[in-house]
Amino acid sequence: MASRKLEDLHPITQQKAREFLKSAEEQGIQILIYCTYRSPEEQEVLYMQGRLEQFGITLEELNEKRLKIGLWKLTEKEAKRKVTNARAWQSFHQYGFAFDCVPLSAGKPDWNNKEAYQTLGQIAKEVGLEWAGEWKRFREMPHFQDTDTYTKIVKRGK
């Protein structure tokens, strides 16, 4: 099961996430960070979702894999929906440079609060994060990543 701890993020990304949370709160948006670090095993299982035929597995087999890593069983409808385009080690989550969050309304996740997500996207820019809600190919409203730090450290080896 993925971590929710800011401490599991890279220290630079962690600082940006704290600034993000503070700015969101100042703008009256409460959020729940529900994923920081995600294991490569979990990432690969998430990638399989929506791709059962490609992997030659059944829904039952996918659900067995999900249960082994602490995830819940999917319905047939849920299993058809792609939730990520990143395989294991392709996601910033495996390196501590990304987090997923959802705005809260009356203390409950509000996945469809487009206005809050737009504001969070602007806050992300201000603190140096990239918001996947602006991606062209595969939009992920809850996903925020520290592309600059990832590029400096992982890609350039600094």
**Any idea where the domains of the chain sit in the sequence?**
6-155
pLDDT averaged over the chain?
A: 96
Question: Options 3.30.1380.10, 3.40.50.1980, 2.30.300.10, 3.40.50.300; which CATH number does 6-155 get?
Answer: 3.30.1380.10
**pLDDT tens readout for residues 115-129:** 999 999 999 999 999
**pLDDT tens readout for residues 75-108:** 999 999 999 999 999 999 999 999 999 999 999 9
Secondary structure (DSSP) of 12-80? HHHHHHHHHHHHHHHTT--EEEEES---HHHHHHHHHTT-HHHHT--HHHHHHHHHHTTPPPPPHHHHT
